[in-house]
Amino acid sequence: MFEAALFYTFSALAITAGVLVVTLRNPISSAIALVSSFFCLSAIYAILGAHFVAVIQVLVYAGAIMVLFLFVIMLLNLREEVAVPWGDFSPRVVVGFMTAALLGGGIILAVSVVGDTGLISAAEAGADYGTIRSVGMAIFSGQFLLPFEAVSALLTVGVVGAVVLGKRNL
């Protein structure tokens, strides 16, 4: 019961922080909301028993990726924008709210129709669940090897593209 309450609390905090990431005007405040969302997701992983994934979430995303985001924000030297009053909605905001409502309704409908999510409990998963060995075996042997290599190639192309865009006088 206590774990369920913690799970729902961290889930609500993660969703709130995610909404703040999108809605805040100040890029530094948005980045801090993203860090809090990462920490909430890490807590959810820890509650679910995937301790390795929780630690990687903190180290890689809340640590390295957010440092990269903050460097980009400082490099771009973003200024404060003029605040838009709450009653002045652009068509993009209306379409965004409609899309979010449709997506949320679709998820609720899918969960209510399917009922059983097919998730297994921690007791059924075994002692090896969420360990470094099990994550490594899942990534590097079998069905996840090709997507893992594709993501690494995509990240390499992204880094090269960022260098080319950032340094025009090569």
pLDDT in tens, 127-156: 777 677 877 888 888 778 888 889 889 888
Residue 137 has a pLDDT of 83
**Overall pTM surpassing 0.85 (yes/no):** no
Is the predicted pLDDT of residue 13 greater than 90, yes or no? yes
Burial 58-72, CB ≥16 within 10 A → b, else e: beebbeeebeebeee
Q: Does a structural domain hold residue 99?
A: no
**DSSP of 22-52, one letter per residue?**
HH-SSHHHHHHHHHHHHHHHHHHHHHTT-HH
In this predicted model, what pLDDT tens digit does every residue of 78-130 receive, in sequence order?
565 666 666 666 777 788 788 888 988 887 887 777 666 566 666 677 777 76
Among 56, 80, 104, give the residue marking a domain's end: 80
Query: In the 3-class helix/strand/coil scheme, how is 57-86 assigned residue by residue?
Result: HHHHHHHHHHHHHHHHHHHHCCCCCCCCCC
Among 80, 112, 147, give the residue marking a domain's end: 80
CATH number for position 72: 1.20.120.1200
Q: Which domain holds residue 168?
A: 122-170
